[in-house]
Structure 1
Amino acid sequence: MARRFRGSEEVKVDAKGRVSIPAKFRRVFESCDPSWEAGKRPQLVIVFGTRDWKHLHLFTMEAMDEIDTKISQLGRGSAERNLLENIYHGHAEEAEIDNDGRLVLPQKLREKVGLTESAFFIAAGDSLKVWSPANYEEEERRLETLVPDFEPGADPLSLLASAQKDEG
């Protein structure tokens, strides 16, 4: 099983659109890039998605390979495959982390998600999401409404019980 991202971090965005990838996140990109070795730059895929996306989604190479495999298993020409190819191939760019641990985010992507002076990284398992801090605050409020019958103060792990039912 591939390593997972854990945690969150806010970092500065410089005038050239460079963001420093925190070391804990760089290690995951390195370990999940089959062609990476010491001295090389780890590769990743930036998915910027459809018009309504307010974040960038950074995938490890292993995670992207898994997504690509699943997309290719869908019927050629199906609506589902066309949508997923559009998002994960057409609205995506390959990138690399430089030797100083930075990632250059192209201006069009920064503008799309509102990144100016800082970026907020939050782990999403085998990927990272990159938000403007303001957009993330809005998203966090939205997420809190997704499980309407979740009681305040309840243990969030109780939500996993429904996952176990689905497997059985």
Structure 2
Amino acid sequence: MDGIPNHVMLKQYSDAASFSDNHVREIPYDGETAMDIYLQVMNSTPKWVGVLMRLRNRIASALGLKHLGNFENFSPDKTDYKVGDRVGIFTMIYQSPVEVIMEDKDKHLDVKVSFHIAPNGDRATVTASTVVHEKNRLGKLYMFFVGPAHKLIVPATLNKLPKL
């Protein structure tokens, strides 16, 4: 179901996931870490994604779901994030030079997002993976709407990275 490659650390969280997806992009590479790429992606999120996020927060708050904040709610100039730090809408739970895993969880959902980078000379493969565990009916209803949107948002966001 998930298609998350075995070399991506997030794969270990994909058992019994109710939603998962994986998107890959080739980029020029100049020594960036996975965290550098994650911050670059968050800093260049398309404006329409920000609009959807604000709409999501209004609807979610009315339904009793957590207000996540916005993609803009982080310091793009900060580079010394550590495991446990809040980075935008997620909390970092794992970091290595080649992968960063972010998480947000509440009583309805457990969402984990990974950015993995596989350097190969002057280019690299960026793999953006997501795993969601729904905990109840409200979580399932939420993912019914968000799941299809997610499959559009992640590729559009990755397309903001430099092209080969």
TM-score with structure 2 setting the length: 0.28
Calculate the TM-score normalised by the size of structure 1: 0.27
Higher-strand-fraction structure: 2
